[in-house]
């Protein structure tokens, strides 16, 4: 059987990597060929993403893969949600994409809430009203207000455009804008009109896992490559990872683990009811036309920040060491991980001790005890969110699929099972890359959709 190879360009909000997916003998083997930092840059009045540098990293990755002997047939890009770039009439980037943490997003949300309540917007869009949503950025975008934009393209679509010259908006990423209409499966034109946004900048929404087109000839010549296709994968990184859950069920419960932990349920359509409103759940697109009902949590951030604190105090400890220490102790305490103090960096162990002291609980003293409190608190919150999702969907799930970096944290997995009473099924650590590669393989007709789970299980 001839080997078939594609490249997943997986771009996160702090770093990125390029991974070649090599399909042979019924399974996919992943090969990381390039890794790089993705640092936001403060310049003048804005916090930007350095898009030209990121596009250079993509070109570097393709050349590296070629020089390593891989024959890449397609490239697929996935990124975080919400951010975008503007293209002018000549097909040039008007300005570097502005980072979702920039102050303009909060100012835009303030403007938005002068015309709508949060509940009204959620009912209109299916999404929670949070500062960083694309809609808040667009209504306060001074570059857009100048009237030179032909197209607004979310980050993966921006890469696809500069690779192919073709304008498109992939479904899962379009839904992160809070400007998508799930019922009519297109942009929310009435809302766009009411917000007085130019409707012509919104491009045709395409299905996840389709071929956008061929890489432009001048770029192929620069890269010294004979041909290369661009696949529009399920390009929101969380949605891409859900594609790598090892089940062919139409609906299931999952936990995406990392700096943030996302508890969710894959659904056939948008879910909107009193429970969704009461429990602050949100809807985001998966692979078209599915919708993921989600709840975001601060996740392993608290553990990462605690590790930094202990390292400054002279303790050289890996995450495995921290888990080992936590498994040897016992402490009856939890913290509310949604408390604002835990969102800010610095002195995390001291904040945890202060919270326990203020709430008249046992105060953790050792490193192991503090780690255990973090893990217990996170697992408890995750279990509560699973219960909220079950109430919102009217379904009871016997098992939950866990994927991402947290699958290596055996203590967290055990605690999730204990608090929720559910069977914890471990999925791939590299779920986003697998989802990206699988979508490309299906788009290229190397695999059929009904072969996806068999190949995935053989590859894990």
Whether 214 is catalytic:
no
Q: Is 288 exposed, middle or buried (0-12, 13-18, 19+ CB in 10 A)?
A: buried
Select from 154, 153, 170, 149 the least CA-distant residue to 230. Answer: 170
User: Quick one: angle between helices 367-393 and 410-420, nearest 10?
Assistant: 50
Select from 404, 394, 418 the least CA-distant residue to 293. Answer: 394
> Measured between alpha carbons, how far is 319 from 371 in angstroms, rounded to an integer?
10
Select from 44, 1, 3 the least CA-distant residue to 441. Answer: 3
3-state DSSP assignment of residue 424 = strand
The pair phi, psi for residue 315, each rounded to 5°, is -95, 120
Q: In the numeric block, which tokens belong to residue 384?
A: 């509560």
Tally the residues of the chain.
460
> Residues 62, 93: contact at Cβ < 8 Å?
no
- 289 cis-preceded (ω within 30 degrees of 0): yes
> Residues 168, 160: contact at Cβ < 8 Å?
yes
The catalytic residue among 78, 102, 128, 237 is 237
Q: Is 218 exposed, middle or buried (0-12, 13-18, 19+ CB in 10 A)?
A: exposed
**Cα distances (Å, whole numbers) of residue 254 to 153, 172, 358, 388, 399:** 29, 17, 33, 13, 9
Select from 142, 89, 136 the least CA-distant residue to 111. Answer: 136
**CA 287 to centroid of chain Cα atoms:** 13
Catalytic machinery residues: 237
């Amino acid at each position: 059987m001839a080997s078939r190879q594609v490249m997943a360009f997986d771009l996160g909000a702090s770093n990125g990597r390029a991974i070649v997916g090599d399909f042979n003998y019924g399974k996919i083997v992943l090969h990381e060929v390039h890794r790089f930092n993705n640092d936001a840059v403060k310049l003048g009045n804005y916090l930007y993403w350095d898009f030209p540098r990121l596009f250079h990293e993509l070109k570097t990755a393709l050349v590296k893969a070629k020089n390593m002997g891989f024959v890449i047939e397609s490239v697929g890009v996935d990124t975080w949600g919400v951010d975008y770039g503007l293209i002018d009439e000549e097909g040039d980037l008007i300005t570097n994409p502005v980072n979702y943490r920039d102050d303009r997003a909060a100012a835009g949300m303030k403007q938005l809430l002068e015309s709508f309540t949060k509940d009204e917007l959620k009912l209109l869009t299916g999404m929670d009203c949070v500062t960083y949503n694309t809609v808040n950025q667009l209504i306060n975008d001074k570059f857009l207000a100048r009237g030179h934009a032909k197209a607004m393209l979310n980050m993966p679509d921006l890469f696809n455009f500069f690779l192919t010259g073709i304008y498109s908006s992939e479904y899962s990423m379009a839904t992160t804008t809070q400007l998508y209409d799930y019922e009519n499966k297109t942009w929310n034109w009435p809302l766009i009109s009411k917000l007085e946004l130019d409707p012509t900048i919104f491009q045709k929404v395409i299905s996840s896992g389709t071929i956008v087109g061929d890489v432009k000839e001048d770029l192929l010549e620069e890269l010294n490559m004979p041909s290369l296709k661009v696949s529009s994968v399920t390009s929101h990184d969380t949605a891409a990872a859900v594609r790598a859950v090892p089940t062919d069920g139409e609906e299931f419960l999952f936990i995406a683990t990392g700096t943030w932990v996302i508890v969710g349920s894959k659904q056939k359509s948008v879910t909107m009811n009193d429970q969704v409103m009461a429990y602050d759940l949100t809807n985001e697109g998966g692979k078209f036309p599915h919708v993921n009902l989600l709840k975001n949590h601060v996740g392993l951030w608290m553990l990462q920040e605690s590790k930094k604190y202990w390292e400054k105090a002279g303790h050289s400890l890996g995450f495995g060491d921290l888990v080992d220490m936590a498994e040897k102790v016992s402490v009856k305490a939890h913290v509310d991980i949604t408390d604002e103090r835990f969102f800010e960096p610095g002195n995390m162990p001291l904040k945890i001790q202060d919270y326990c002291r203020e709430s008249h609980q046992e105060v953790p003293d050792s490193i192991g005890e503090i780690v255990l409190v973090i893990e217990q608190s996170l697992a408890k919150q995750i279990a509560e969110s699973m219960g909220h999702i079950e109430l919102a969907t009217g379904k009871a799930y016997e098992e939950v699929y866990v994927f991402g970096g947290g699958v290596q944290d055996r203590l967290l997995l055990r605690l999730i099972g204990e608090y929720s009473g559910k069977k914890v099924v471990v999925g791939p650590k590299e779920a986003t890359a697998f989802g990206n590669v699988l979508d490309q393989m299906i788009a290229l007709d190397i695999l059929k959709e009904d072969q996806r789970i068999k190949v995935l299980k053989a590859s894990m």
